[in-house]
Chain A
Amino acid sequence: MNRLAYLLAGTIATVIQTGPAWANAVYVSNEKDNTVTVVDSNTMEVTKTINVGQRPRGITISHDGKHLYVCASDDDTVEIIDTATHEIIGSLPSGPDPELFVLSPDGKTLYVANEDDNLVTVIDVEKKRVITEIPVGVEPEGMGISPDGKTMVNTSETTNMAHFIDTSSHEIVANVLVDSRPRFAEFTPDGSQVWISAEIGGTVSVIDNASREVVEKVTFEIQGLRSEAIQPVGVRISADGKKAYVALGPANRVAVVNTETYEVEKYILVGQRVWQLAFTPDGKHLISTNGLSNDITFIDTATDEPIKSVTVGALPWGVTVAPN
């Protein structure tokens, strides 16, 4: 029965992908003016601006696309927005100063990094209650979850570690040292590796999820740019696992990394202080938030060329795209 459903779903997905491009809503959190900008992924135009809580940063969407979750950092809460009405319909007890979070693959659990309290808060999304709090290193920030949902990785910015957490026991099972100020954790689609960006260290550490050891370190070099300006933050890996995109902060570029050779194949010039990244569900476009130029850039992932920049709110921080 399950198998049949799976096959059916697969067929439907194929049909959709061969059809016309799907219009998806792109949601951008604007840290400075307390808004979320909604952009149409097809027309690449702003369709709506939603007023939210103070200092919105981390942003993600439920797997059914109905609810948007936004970290309102200065309000110490995660707001829930109904994507049909664009109204704030509730909040989640995130603990103080939530910055980034990750939703479990089954959509039931939200893992939130609380920067001020050296904690990861685990929230039952449906019941809107805290399941547990996990003590981690100083200034927890990056949050990644394995595709099977069994392992969650949190990075702590001052401790400089990636903490591997077993999602069933809520216990840390490994601590892996990475370079200075780790900002983001992203699993490869097959779950075999976690990529950790280090903003001040200027590198991305590739950790093997079986041995929990750093197996590769991606470095960046841009001619005419001093090394201090290269500050890796957001990381996204293509669905086929072949390319990793790394936002390089004040270097104003997104690096395209070959996941087999770990070499940078291209630097895509986007806007100023590029922070976070998101793919459209069809994987054809990557969207970057460019904090200082107050815009987002659509990148064509076939050519890795920027297509269009769209002005959003003040200090765009995070981005998420509605599923099909």
Chain B
Amino acid sequence: MDMKSTVPNTLLFFFACFFLLVNAPEPMAQQKPAAKPVTEIRIGYLRAYEPQLALSVLDIPPEDEGVAGANVAINDNNTTGSFLGQSFSLDVVQTKLDEDVVPVFREMLARGEKYVLTDISASQLLSIADLARENGVLLFNVGSTDDVLREQECRSNVFHTAPTRTMLADGLAQYLVWKQWRTWVLLYGSHEPDQLYADAIRRAAKRFGAKIVEERLYEDTGTARRTDSGVVQVQRQMPVFTQNLPAHDVVIVADESEVFGSYVPYRTWDPRPVAGTAGLIASSWHPASEQWGGSQIQGRFEKATGRRMLSKDMQAWTAVRILGDAATRTNSNDTAKIEAFIKDEKFSLAAFKGQKVGFRRWNWQLRQPIFLGDGRGVVSTSPQEGFLHQFSELDTLGVDQPETACKLN
């Protein structure tokens, strides 16, 4: 407003008041110049969800796990978008575990979704990946840690913000080796995810010079997880299960299915630390991380949801922010432009992990630091000091380019 104009100041004042009154209810009225047309960017979120049990009631996944992170990122994107005339929204579609997701995905396609976050199993994801590509849709895997999705079954239109099991196991192994705790025993569960996690641990041991001196399988014979006198039995079972092991520094537990793993700490025959899926756990985020600006996102998340931020929330937040950043910087909602931006060699994002995160261009896996923490706090983050790499130290975590089985078309 030019105050030196010849219009009397009182009149200007009235105009100003009128303008403020008219514009006041609009949240972004102050942010000028904002008279641009608004570009809508819709993001789909396809999830398979059923309530799950855990050995500890504290570990039961919240119903909005992942979705809550995506929503916080949508808000972040919209704050940024308000300066550029971009508006983001989330379209959440929920199916059951192991259900055929093709029909609901077709509905999402019919609604014109071009970007879809997925929190579904590897087989569900593979059932829609090619259909997505045929329709020019980019998928962001925020839930599955299966290495196969980044290796034999990788796709040029599927990005992964969830870490792989090999990344998690390598992050843990680097720390244990740095601690000089190199002799391990491995206790693993009988379900497929447990076996896959155990495979990743075996690979990590070989890679970083640790030795697994004995392995034991814990068969899931079917049991109620929360019985009244359960703890009495557990206190007797776990020492017996870990009796007569050769000398070892650490007990590694591979039990993603939550059948026995959380019972192992403090109950082993020998007094040894426990790591893996119980005890010291590797993850893409920790609800207590406050480093590297982490207290900002944690505060924002808690304010929005009333609970702490979990790994899947961070994985979904990151995917939505990647799309937001791409839309902002290309000033566009054009899928081709956004895809080209994300796939550019120089693409990187700030994600409260102390260094930039970005994609491995050979399989579109997000390279990222791995947190190591117990139920209370962060113990360390990997990669650890001294694990060097010719390109990025983050590539010391997980399957590296020379070993990859992925062939992107």
Chain A residues proximal to chain B, CB less than 8 Å:
97, 115-116, 118, 134-135, 137-139, 156-161, 163, 169-173, 175, 177, 180-181, 199-202, 226, 228-229, 231
Contact A137–B79 (Cβ < 8 Å): yes
A-B contact pairs, 11 of them (CB 8 A): A135-B28, A139-B296, A157-B293, A157-B296, A161-B83, A170-B30, A172-B32, A172-B83, A200-B349, A200-B355, A201-B350
| Interchain CB contact (< 8 A) of B355 among A115, A134, A228 | A228
Q: Tell me the dominant secondary structure on chain A's binding face.
A: loop
Contact B83–A137 (Cβ < 8 Å): yes
B27: chain A residues within 8 A (beta carbon): 135
Q: Nearest B residue to A96 by beta-carbon distance?
A: B299
Enumerate the 9 nearest inter-chain pairs by beta-carbon distance, A residue then B residue, closest first. Answer: A200-B350, A228-B355, A159-B80, A181-B350, A175-B83, A180-B350, A200-B356, A138-B76, A138-B79
Contact B356–A228 (Cβ < 8 Å): yes
Within 8 Å of chain A (Cβ to Cβ): is B149? no
A159: chain B residues within 8 A (beta carbon): 76, 79-80, 83
The answer for the CA separation of A209 and B84 in the assembled complex, in Å, is 20
Q: Nearest B residue to A230 by beta-carbon distance?
A: B355
The answer for the CA separation of A156 and B355 in the assembled complex, in Å, is 17
The answer for the CA separation of A135 and B321 in the assembled complex, in Å, is 20
Contact B80–A172 (Cβ < 8 Å): no
Chain B residues proximal to chain A, CB less than 8 Å:
1, 27-28, 30-33, 76, 79-80, 83-84, 293, 296, 299-300, 321, 325, 328-329, 348-350, 355-356, 392-394
A115: chain B residues within 8 A (beta carbon): 296
The answer for the CA separation of A134 and B7 in the assembled complex, in Å, is 28
The answer for the CA separation of A160 and B393 in the assembled complex, in Å, is 25
The answer for the CA separation of A75 and B80 in the assembled complex, in Å, is 28
Contact A118–B79 (Cβ < 8 Å): yes
Contact A180–B76 (Cβ < 8 Å): no
B322 CB, min distance to chain A CBs, angstroms: 12
Contact B30–A157 (Cβ < 8 Å): no
A260 CB, min distance to chain B CBs, angstroms: 26
Contact B28–A116 (Cβ < 8 Å): no
Whether A201 touches B80, Cβ cut-off 8 Å, given contacts A157-B293, A160-B328, A171-B32, is: no
Contact B356–A161 (Cβ < 8 Å): no
| Interchain CB contact (< 8 A) of B392 among A160, A199, A228 | A228
Contact B83–A169 (Cβ < 8 Å): no
A200: chain B residues within 8 A (beta carbon): 348-350, 355-356
B393: chain A residues within 8 A (beta carbon): 226, 228
| Interchain CB contact (< 8 A) of A177 among B30, B329, B392 | B329
The answer for the CA separation of A169 and B76 in the assembled complex, in Å, is 26
Whether A171 touches B30, Cβ cut-off 8 Å, given contacts A200-B355, A201-B348, A226-B392, is: yes
A180: chain B residues within 8 A (beta carbon): 348-350, 356
| Interchain CB contact (< 8 A) of B325 among A160, A199, A228, A229 | A160
A160: chain B residues within 8 A (beta carbon): 80, 325, 328, 350
A174 CB, min distance to chain B CBs, angstroms: 8
The answer for the CA separation of A143 and B389 in the assembled complex, in Å, is 37
A54 CB, min distance to chain B CBs, angstroms: 13
The answer for the CA separation of A172 and B102 in the assembled complex, in Å, is 46
B83: chain A residues within 8 A (beta carbon): 137, 159, 161, 163, 172, 175
Q: Nearest A residue to B356 by beta-carbon distance?
A: A200
Whether A172 touches B31, Cβ cut-off 8 Å, given contacts A158-B76, A228-B355, is: yes
B328: chain A residues within 8 A (beta carbon): 160, 177
A34 CB, min distance to chain B CBs, angstroms: 16
Q: Which of A135, A157, A173 has the most CB of B within 10 A?
A: A135
The answer for the CA separation of A169 and B299 in the assembled complex, in Å, is 31
The answer for the CA separation of A173 and B27 in the assembled complex, in Å, is 17
Whether A137 touches B80, Cβ cut-off 8 Å, given contacts A160-B328, A200-B350, is: yes
B394: chain A residues within 8 A (beta carbon): 228
A202: chain B residues within 8 A (beta carbon): 356
A228: chain B residues within 8 A (beta carbon): 355-356, 392-394
Contact B80–A139 (Cβ < 8 Å): no
| Given A138-B76, A158-B321, A159-B80, 17 new contacts (CB under 8 A) | A97-B299, A118-B79, A135-B30, A139-B293, A156-B80, A158-B80, A159-B79, A160-B80, A175-B84, A180-B349, A180-B356, A181-B293, A200-B348, A200-B349, A200-B350, A202-B356, A231-B355
B43 CB, min distance to chain A CBs, angstroms: 17
Q: Which of B27, B348, B393 has the most CB of A within 10 A?
A: B348
| Interchain CB contact (< 8 A) of A201 among B79, B299, B300, B356 | B356
Contact A158–B31 (Cβ < 8 Å): no
The answer for the CA separation of A200 and B348 in the assembled complex, in Å, is 8
B300: chain A residues within 8 A (beta carbon): 116
A153 CB, min distance to chain B CBs, angstroms: 14
B356: chain A residues within 8 A (beta carbon): 180, 200-202, 228
The answer for the CA separation of A163 and B31 in the assembled complex, in Å, is 10
Whether A138 touches B350, Cβ cut-off 8 Å, given contacts A169-B1, A228-B393, is: no
Contact B80–A161 (Cβ < 8 Å): yes
| Interchain CB contact (< 8 A) of A116 among B32, B33, B296, B321 | B296
Contact B355–A173 (Cβ < 8 Å): no
Contact A173–B32 (Cβ < 8 Å): yes
The answer for the CA separation of A197 and B296 in the assembled complex, in Å, is 19
The answer for the CA separation of A137 and B84 in the assembled complex, in Å, is 11
A170: chain B residues within 8 A (beta carbon): 30
B116 CB, min distance to chain A CBs, angstroms: 23
B30: chain A residues within 8 A (beta carbon): 134-135, 170-172
The answer for the CA separation of A231 and B76 in the assembled complex, in Å, is 23
Q: Which of B27, B28, B293, B392 has the most CB of A within 10 A?
A: B293
Q: Nearest A residue to B81 by beta-carbon distance?
A: A159
The answer for the CA separation of A200 and B346 in the assembled complex, in Å, is 12
A33 CB, min distance to chain B CBs, angstroms: 17
